[in-house]
Amino acid sequence: MGSLLVYLHVAVKQRAFQSLLGTGLPGVVTTAVGRVADFERALQDARYAIVGAGAPPEAAKVASVGALDLLGRDGTNRFVRRLVGQQVRVERVTKIEDLLPLLQMQRVDAVLLPARLVADMRSASRLPLAERQLDQTVALPAVANTGPGGAAVLGAISRMPKDISKLLGVEEWR
C-alpha cells in the first residue's frame, strides 16, 4: 500500500500520534516526525513549479495554466490561483501525462506540477521546456494520489476517525 509522512504540532507525543494515525489508517505505513528538519528533508523535492515552452514562465504574466485536478473543479482552481495568480484560467486534467499535450497544443501558457516531475516531463518532450519554481507553499494539510497504492491511502484517509482528522486540523477531507 502507500505511505504517509506527517510533521504537525499536536498535544500528544510523536510516537502516540504516529500510533493513532496507524490505527486510523490500516495498511498505510505512517511516519510522524518531531523535527522540522526531518520533515523538510523528506519534502525537499516536493516544491511546485510552473513549466512553459521557451523561457521560464513568470506567474504574473501567465494567463492560462494546466494542472492536475486533485481537489475537484473549485478546489483545484482555488489552489492553482493561490499559487500562480488570481487572474489565471485553469485547464484541469486527470493524469500527469495529460499536462504535456496542453503545452504542445498551446492550450495553456504553462503547467503547474510538483518540481520533482519536471525532469520526467522534459524527457518526454521535444519542446524546449523551462521551469520556474514557486515560492508559495501549501500551509494546510493536503493529500494527493501520487503513486502506487495512493488511491488506497486516500480511501483510508477519508475513513479516518473524526478525532484523528481534527488532530491534523482538518474538519472534513474533500
Per-residue pLDDT of the chain in tens (174 residues, 90 and over written 9): 567 788 777 788 888 888 988 888 888 788 888 777 777 666 554 778 999 999 999 988 999 999 988 778 998 899 899 899 888 999 999 888 899 999 999 999 999 988 778 888 999 999 999 999 988 765 445 666 667 777 888 888 888 888 887 777 677 776
Give residue 24's domain range.
3-44+145-167
Check residue 142 and give its pLDDT.
62
Rounded CA gap, 117 and 161, in Å? 33
Amino acid at 130: A
58, 129: one domain = yes
Rounded CA gap, 128 and 143, in Å? 31
Rounded CA gap, 70 and 143, in Å? 9
| The three three-digit cell numbers of residue 160, written as one number | 479516518
Within 10 A of 11 (CB to CB), how many other CB atoms are there?
A: 7
Is the residue at 140 inside a domain? no
Cα distance from N-terminal residue to C-terminal residue, the chain: 21
Is the residue at 150 inside a domain? yes
101, 126: one domain = yes
Check residue 45 and give its pLDDT.
46
Radius of gyration of the chain (CA): 17
Residue 168 φ then ψ, to 5°: -80, -10
